[in-house]
Structure 1
Amino acid sequence: MAVDIASFRKDVYSIVASIPRGRVLSYGQVAWLTGHPTHCRLVGSVLHGAAESDGLPCHRVVNSAGRTVPGWQEQRRLLEAEGITFRPNGCVDMKKWQWKLE
């Protein structure tokens, strides 16, 4: 299914902007919320291209196992500042901190 990138980017930004402080979503969940559940890698690409000036809380998006972005050391610090704790393996405890979309 072809994706209109501009529309997809707008949807991703809107979803990420709505993630509450102290909660996380996975790339797959963001993709699902856009209506394109198989496009989780595209979510990552869109967020990677987001300018810091966009003010998006991109740090609240992790992979499905709760792993943070490799090489982005500040992500963990930002999440911890919001009260999010990590398991001994360095991953966010998704059962505890995942935003429950009900």
Structure 2
Amino acid sequence: MSFTERAVALIKQIPSGKVMTYGQIAGLAGSPRGARQVVRVLHSMSKKHNLPWHRVINSKGEIGFKDEEMYVVQKLSLEAEGILVSSDGKLDLKVYLYEPDVYK
């Protein structure tokens, strides 16, 4: 299975109300320094594979979008699943981080 296939499989299994980080997904998919590859996977394959892209955030526990419209869409999507997101786009990884025990 390729990195991309592993990343897609991991993203698909993030449950509602939980998040994973780009780097966490990259590491579990076999490329610990591949966070940007995860961004590429999300950008190019979210629609095709119906990925819950909004559940992937940066390692600081923040929404990573600079584009205001996408930022708001992601924030509202996370809040709709019960995730508390601060006004500056941060959430508590201790509470919301999903840690699958696959691909280790």
TM-score relative to the length of structure 2: 0.83
**More divergent stretch after superposition (72-81 vs 44-53):** 44-53
Mapped contact 1:87–1:93 kept (Cα < 8 A): no
Alpha-carbon shift at residue 49 of structure 1 (Å):
1.0
Alpha-carbon shift at residue 88 of structure 1 (Å):
4.8
Quickly say closer, same or farther: Cα 1:99–1:48, change in 2 above 3 A. Answer: same
- Unmatched segments (≥5 aa) in structure 1: 1-5
How many pairs are equivalent?
97
Alpha-carbon shift at residue 23 of structure 1 (Å):
0.3
Question: Counterpart of 1:84?
Answer: 83
Question: Aligned pair 1:70/2:70, yes or no?
Answer: no
The aligned runs of 1:1-102 (5 Å cut-off) are 7-68=2-63, 69-71=65-67, 72=70, 73-101=72-100
One-letter amino acid of the counterpart of residue 49, structure 1: S
TM-score relative to the length of structure 1: 0.85
One-letter amino acid of the counterpart of residue 14, structure 2: I
